[in-house]
């Protein structure tokens, strides 16, 4: 007699859900097969696949507009359950988007699914199992490593995770980088902004115009990220 499998998230929830979706006609793609579509293990969006779907579902959309939609999806101005709710509403009802055409500005709605014509072939129903997402220290170290060739100075700095109450991060005179553990509750784009901000202090030890110019050159959307970071702070646990 084969003993029953130990109950865990995979065999009690994830695997049954996958089998159900396959019976409903979804295509199963092993996560190993999709790993090549991720930039790194911090990514939770398959951006290339999403971009192609947006262009397929929205005939009016340009490549640049598809990139804007993906950017807005990654930079939703909310955290926690409010963020999940906003994502669900976009996926269900579409994302409002202002576009510029020959007749000036126009308002469109970017669709993520064709609910009106499910048999049209425009939708792609793919199910997979959970991706591995880097843990806090791994994610921060990977982000620092990615930006070090551009913003680093000499040997890569030591990284410490701390319970900082007033700062998202800091850069010590000896180059040691300290990050607030609460940053791990933010989206990948905001984590990247925090890392770039602290690495820029290796070159400019103040918040001068030269400092902000360096941050903006590295991250063109840094002002938007900075604003979202200010708004996210009060929503995170003390």
Given 110, 127, 144, the domain boundary residue is: 127
153 shares a domain with 96: no
Whole-number pLDDT of residue 153: 87
Whole-number pLDDT of residue 95: 96
83 shares a domain with 66: yes
Q: Is 1 a domain residue?
A: no
3-state secondary structure of 153: coil
Eight-state DSSP code of residue 105: E
58-66 long-range contacts (CB < 8 A, ≥24 apart) are 58/108, 58/110, 58/111, 60/99, 60/108, 61/108, 61/110, 65/97, 65/99, 65/110
87 shares a domain with 162: no
Whole-number pLDDT of residue 1: 43
Residues of the chain falling short of pLDDT 50: 1, 3, 238
14 shares a domain with 111: yes
153 shares a domain with 99: no
Whole-number pLDDT of residue 197: 96
Nearest-10 Cα torsion for 128, 188, 228, 60: -50
When divided into structural domains, the chain yields a total of: 2
Residue with tokens 């880097």: 134
Whole-number pLDDT of residue 55: 97
Q: What does the angle CA 116 – CA 127 – CA 192 come to, to the nearest 5 degrees?
A: 100
Given 127, 159, 186, the domain boundary residue is: 127
What are the counts of helices (DSSP H) followed by strands (DSSP E) for the chain?
10, 7
Domain hosting 24: range is: 9-127
Find residue 110's DSSP bridge partners. Answer: 95
Question: For the domain that residue 172 is a member of, what is the CATH number?
Answer: 3.30.2010.10
Given 95, 127, 159, the domain boundary residue is: 127
Whole-number pLDDT of residue 199: 96
Which residues neighbour 26 within 8 Å (Cβ) at sequence distance 6 or greater? Answer: 125, 126, 127
Whole-number pLDDT of residue 230: 85
CB-count exposure of residue 151 (10 Å: 0-12, 13-18, 19+) = buried
Whole-number pLDDT of residue 132: 64
147 shares a domain with 67: no
122 shares a domain with 140: no
140 shares a domain with 123: no
Q: Is 4 a domain residue?
A: no
158 shares a domain with 64: no
Q: Is 164 a domain residue?
A: yes
103 shares a domain with 65: yes
Q: Is 203 a domain residue?
A: yes
Q: Is 83 a domain residue?
A: yes
What is the distance between the alpha carbons of residues 107 and 60, in angstroms, rounded to a whole number? 12
């Amino acid at each position: 007699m084969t003993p029953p499998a130990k109950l865990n998230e995979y065999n009690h929830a994830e695997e049954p859900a996958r089998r159900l979706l396959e019976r409903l006609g979804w295509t199963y793609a092993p996560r190993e097969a999709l790993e090549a579509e991720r930039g790194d293990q911090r990514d939770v969006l398959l951006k290339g696949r999403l971009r192609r779907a947006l262009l397929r579902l929205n005939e009016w959309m340009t490549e640049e507009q598809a990139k804007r939609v993906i950017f807005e999806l990654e930079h939703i101005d909310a955290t926690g359950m409010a963020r999940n709710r906003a994502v669900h509403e976009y996926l269900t009802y579409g994302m409002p988007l202002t576009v510029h055409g020959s007749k000036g500005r126009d308002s469109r709605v970017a669709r993520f699914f064709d609910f009106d014509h499910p048999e049209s072939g425009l939708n792609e129903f793919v199910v997979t199992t959970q991706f591995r997402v880097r843990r806090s220290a791994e994610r921060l170290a990977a982000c620092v490593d990615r930006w070090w060739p551009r913003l680093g100075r000499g040997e890569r700095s030591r990284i410490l995770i701390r319970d900082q109450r007033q700062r998202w991060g800091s850069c010590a005179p000896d180059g040691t980088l300290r990050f607030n553990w609460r940053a791990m509750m933010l989206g990948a784009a905001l984590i990247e902004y925090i890392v770039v901000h602290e690495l820029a202090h290796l070159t400019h030890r103040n918040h001068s115009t030269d400092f902000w110019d360096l941050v903006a050159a590295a991250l063109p959307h840094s002002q938007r990220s900075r604003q979202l970071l200010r708004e996210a702070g009060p929503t995170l646990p003390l």
